[in-house]
Structure formats: C-alpha cells, structure tokens
Amino acid sequence: MITLTPAQRQHLKGLAHTLSPVVIIGEKGLSEAVMKEIDRALKAHELIKIKAGSDDKETRARWQEEICSAIDATPVQLIGKVLVIYRPAEKPAIQLPR
C-alpha cells in the first residue's frame, strides 16, 4: 500500500468523481469472487469505485481496509456506499502530483 499525500488524494478524488462503480459488494460480502473482480478491475483501471451493499458504515470501512490490505491497494475515499480505491499499474497511466 502506498501512502498518498493530501494533494495526490485530492487529485484521485477528482478523477474518481466521473467514474461509475465497476464492482458491487452484495449481501454475501467480500467473497473470493468479489476480491478477484476487484483485483482484475484495478489491473485494468488503476482507480475504481466499488458499490457496497451494506447499510452499516463500520462494515463498509472494514471492507475497504480488507480489500486494500489483501490486494496491496490504497484507499482514496469512502463516501456513502461508495469506496474509491487506487493501485498503480506497472506502467501507471495516472500521473500523481508530487
């Protein structure tokens, strides 16, 4: 997991604003299939939104932590039921400010 500066986090939030969720965590929670789909989406896009099906804020925050630690990603934002996660690709397409 990389550490983002406030400027980098703000930049990623701006880029994520127009994105639609590419993965939905349903009633079964973080299954192995969901984790594989999140990993695949991050490989393809670097920055993704995930729609969480839980109404519990602590559950959504825990899911974001679990996802990031399991697949070496970085949390960007958790707003409502939407988790924003970033993981740079081997050849990053997103250029972060310094």
Res. 5 pLDDT band, cuts 50 70 90: very high
**Both structure tokens of 33:** 């299939």
Report pLDDT digits (tens) over 41-59. 999 999 999 999 999 999 9
As assigned by CATH, the class of the 6-86 domain is: alpha beta
- Give the Å distances, CA to CA, from 72 to 1, 9, 28, 65, 93: 5, 17, 22, 10, 18
Report pLDDT digits (tens) over 50-98. 999 999 999 999 999 999 999 999 999 999 999 999 999 989 899 999 8
Residue whose pair of structure tokens reads 């500066």 in the numeric block: 5
* Contacts of 42 by beta carbon, 8 Å cutoff, 6+ apart: 48, 71, 73, 85, 87
pTM over 0.85: yes
**Main-chain phi, psi angles of 74, to 5 degrees:** -125, 130
